[in-house]
């Protein structure tokens, strides 16, 4: 099965690329970064959450 690529909205791409992401030090066995909702643009954060819920793919890496 081939990969399916969708267009990531440009304003969400800019939002993701310009945030200060924090490395989750408490879970080094599952490396990831996060942003805090109360420190970023609320509307863009909510749109990003909806986008992930609608288009995200669950998987193991």
Structural domains counted in the chain: 1
- pLDDT value of residue 57: 87
Residue 48 resides in a domain: yes
Express each pLDDT in 7-31 by its tens digit: 889 999 999 999 999 999 998 898 9
Q: Which two tokens stand for residue 2?
A: 């081939």
Letter string b/e over residues 4-16, b meaning 16 or more CB atoms within 10 A of that residue's CB: eeeeeeeeeeebe
Considering the domain boundaries, does residue 5 fall inside one?
A: no
Whole-prediction pTM: 0.78
* Domain, as residue range, for 15: 10-55
């Amino acid at each position: 099965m081939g990969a399916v690529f969708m267009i990531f909205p440009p304003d969400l791409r800019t939002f993701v690329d310009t945030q200060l992401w924090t490395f989750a030090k408490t879970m080094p066995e599952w490396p990831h970064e996060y942003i805090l909702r109360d420190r970023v643009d609320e509307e863009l954060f909510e749109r990003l959450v909806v986008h992930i819920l609608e288009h995200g793919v669950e998987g193991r890496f």
